[in-house]
Amino acid sequence: MAGRDNIPMAVVRKNAGETIKIFLGKTICGPYLDMRICYQANPWDKDFEQETDRGLTLDLELLPDLVEALSWVMGAVEIKRSDRT
């Protein structure tokens, strides 16, 4: 596989008009993860979304570090939520 597969591995709803699509790709340097923000470009066609330049691309070998960092953030958010109650 050269380049990025156009079928997302996962889609996360960001808000009413945007999603985050997660793709896998491969270059000569190795595999990578590409997360792109997409928006509903045509209000009459709910299935068509346009990719923006906003997003994150990183080497796939960094995925465990990203997951660890996000897990840490989730723990911090849970602590703050529990402090409010």
Q: What is the pLDDT of residues 35-61, one digit of tens each?
A: 999 998 777 776 778 888 999 999 999
Does 75 map to a domain? no
Whether pTM exceeds 0.85:
no
Q: What is the pLDDT of residue 1?
A: 42
| Range(s) of the domain holding residue 19 | 3-60
Does 17 map to a domain? yes
Q: In whole angstroms, what is the distance from residue 48 CA to residue 46 CA?
A: 6
Does 50 map to a domain? yes
Does 84 map to a domain? no
CB 55 within 8 Å of CB 36: yes
Number of compact structural domains in the chain: 1
Does 25 map to a domain? yes
CA 64 to mean position of chain CA atoms? 15
For all residues of the chain together, what is the average pLDDT?
A: 85
Does 78 map to a domain? no
